[in-house]
Amino acid sequence: MKEKINFLEELNEQQKSAVLNIDGPTLVVAGAGSGKTKVLTSKLAYIVEQRKAWPNQILCVTFTNKAAKEMRDRVAKMLAGKTNSLSWLGTFHAISVKFLRRHAEAIGLKSNFTILDTDDQKKLIKNISKAENIDAKKISPQFILSLIDKWKNKGLLPEEVKLSKKHVFENQILKVYKIYQTKIRDLNACDFGDLILYCVKLFEKNPDIRKIYSNNFKYILVDEYQDTNFIQNKWLQLIVNENQNICCVGDDDQSIYSWRGAEIKNFLGFDKVYTDCKIFRLEQNYRSTKNILDTASFIISHNKDRLGKKLWSEGEKGDLVKLNCYKNGKEEAQGTGAIIEENLKKNNSLNEMAILVRAIYQTREFEERFLKIGINYRIIGGIKFYERAEVKDAICYLRIINQKFDDLAFERIINRPRRGLGDATIKQLYEFSSKNNICLEDSAKKLFQLNKFKPKIKNVIKHLLELINKWRSDLKKNKHYDLLKIVLDESGYSEMLKNKKDLENETRIENLKELLRAMHDYDNLQGFLEHVALATSIDQEWEDEKVNIMTIHAAKGLEFNSVFLPGWEEGLFPHQKSLEERGDSALEEERRLAYVGITRAKKKAYISFAMQRSWHGEWMDSLPSRFVSELPENTIEKNEEPVNEVSDDFDFNQDNLLEDNEEYRSPGWARLKKKLLK
């Protein structure tokens, strides 16, 4: 028999108070690294141990399956494995499925209903859009689904939607929504958004069913409450019991997902809904040094919409948070690389270092630098810069302009943007190419001359070949980076991105702008394409430990010994678009992002900004972020003047790379030597 852990003895006073208070509504304001999961699992275990409820009378809601599994495992350990019946521990969606399977008929479904995945949803939306003559190039299925999902998160079925006219296409999308809901009902199916929405409708229209569950659940526990949206909060309110034994745990200072529908007012207004609630604050941090905590706390104190808390630690004061000013983005990447190398000399692991950016396009300069000096890296929650679809598309256009024998590039761009050329045309080109031992471009020319294409396809091929020839002539008269602007415009690629309503569209445009900035570092097209090919191929060879690169959003819930926070400039962080769209509320969320970023660091934090950024080939002055001025003087070590330029150590194509008298340059230099000597 497993030995039971005395879990209450492991809690600090704040945590213990929160755990022991089990009756009535409770809000636990849990600061970063303060042990919120420990409190939640301890409370669950305490309720069971004290026999206040049977395990199947406790509803415990998480946001991820991973969190649910972690909680289940922890509680099992605390109670010596006697918790096999925690049948109502899971995500909002998983628990909703259980409700709906039992009561499907009450909402017009059969109990064996299917849950559609994203691909199924997109296919269905595509078919409906086609039937309704909606141009998928202008309104993508993904964009339609995102708006439908927003309506569902607000608890709105098609007949309940009131058009805001915020989007010019709302009327068309609402029509698609009506047809879409009818069709998935006919299929005896629902999507992820329906799972919670249908539960709410089920409980609202069937008070007897609602009562079954509100009577059964003696206690409700909720994790990451600050991330709940309207419909999830409504779901909770409908099934809470008369005694209002609901305990919600979260951190209002880490509410950073409003773009995903999360509503911080659920958290801030908890005491208005549950008037007799008790609020507990977990302020002792077990993750970061005092200087890091004081820095984060001081910044977040500038927010008005928060419940308020002050993080503290019994740990060491630690290093001051470094604030570095660089001349430009390239030097910021060089300086960061130099600091990482210094940390490596002290036997610090790359896995324990992270670069957290505000916008994903910022990764490019760091990737470039790390490839050059031999520091391996991973992109968390995203794709490496030169592997992003829009970047690869643009590069393939440049590759085919550079030389016509690049069949892979020709195949990629022939129908990007869509020109009405399908697999049959590609197959025809490849077969003719193979038979006559010529490249795809020459195949297209020859088949055109032989009149082997259908009239519509013939015109498309003719236009494309003429454009490619024109671009080759343009290259002789223009800089290679100016040529890319011409190509993107004349190919229709720019227009496709501008007109397309798509969630990721803005990111794609930013990535292409960053690609243009990258091209300015090279004298000609050939040199740039060689760099791209070399960068991607070398990167694939390196393994072992890696620096983590990700957005601050993707870093939530993670921790690292050393954290780098680059790009603290106005317009980038806080992000200009967010401020323009949502004003003061966006500024507060951007500040919460800064708080989340800083509190990912356990031992060292490095904040940096650049005095200049490249914009369309021109150097533009940058203003330091307003968050820089909000940093506390006593916890910051400032480099007031721009950090001296870090010299480029080497290029991979140097002839003398392995000369015996070559001085030691970096850890990457040493690693590269070993690889080349094998």
| Residue type at 94 in one-letter notation | A
**Burial class for 326, CB neighbours closer than 10 Å (0-12, 13-18, 19+):** buried
Q: Is 224 a catalytic residue?
A: yes
15: left (phi over 0), alpha (psi -120 to 50) or beta: alpha
C-alpha distances out from residue 486 to 17, 327, 559, Å: 65, 30, 44
Collect all residues with Cβ–Cβ distance below 8 Å to 80 and sequence separation of at least 6. Answer: 1, 2, 3, 4
- Catalytic pick from 57, 91, 142, 254? 254
| Residue type at 50 in one-letter notation | Q
Exposure string (b/e) for 629-665, b if CB count within 10 Å is 16 or more? eebeeebbeeeeebbeebeebbeeeeeeeeeeeeeeb
Q: Is 37 a catalytic residue?
A: yes
- Catalytic pick from 14, 26, 142, 223? 223
569: left (phi over 0), alpha (psi -120 to 50) or beta: beta
**Burial class for 52, CB neighbours closer than 10 Å (0-12, 13-18, 19+):** middle
C-alpha distances out from residue 673 to 85, 93, 251, 347, 544, Å: 58, 52, 48, 20, 16
- Catalytic pick from 4, 16, 37, 77? 37
Query: Do residues 547 and 376 touch, judged by C-beta distance below 8 A?
Result: yes
Q: Which two tokens stand for residue 630?
A: 């909000």
- Catalytic pick from 26, 36, 191, 592? 36
- Catalytic pick from 72, 600, 604, 613? 600
- Catalytic pick from 191, 224, 341, 590? 224
- Centre a 10 Å sphere on the Cβ of residue 163 and count the other Cβ atoms it contains: 10
- Nearest CA to 568 among 622, 605, 619, 632? 622
Q: Are strands 601-615 and 246-250 parallel, antiparallel or unpaired?
A: unpaired
Q: Is 254 a catalytic residue?
A: yes
| Residue type at 359 in one-letter notation | A
> Strand order in 219-222's β-sheet?
89-91, 58-62, 219-222, 246-250, 26-30, 278-282
Q: At what angle do helices 363-373 and 505-519 cross, to 10 degrees?
A: 50
Secondary structure (H, E, C), 192-231:
HHHHHHHHHHHHHHCHHHHHHHHHHCCEEEECCHHHCCHH
- Centre a 10 Å sphere on the Cβ of residue 85 and count the other Cβ atoms it contains: 13
CA dihedral for 480, 483, 488, 494, sign (positive or negative):
positive
Secondary structure (H, E, C), 509-573:
HHHHHHHHHHHCCCCCHHHHHHHHHHHHHHHHHCCCCCEEEEEHHHHCCCCEEEEEECCCECEEC
Using the structure block, give the residue that is written with the tokens 């507990």: 280
Q: Is 36 a catalytic residue?
A: yes
Q: Which two tokens stand for residue 37?
A: 């999961």
Q: If you count DSSP H runs as helices and E runs as strands, how many of each does the chain have, helices first?
A: 28, 16
List active site positions: 36-37, 223-224, 254, 600
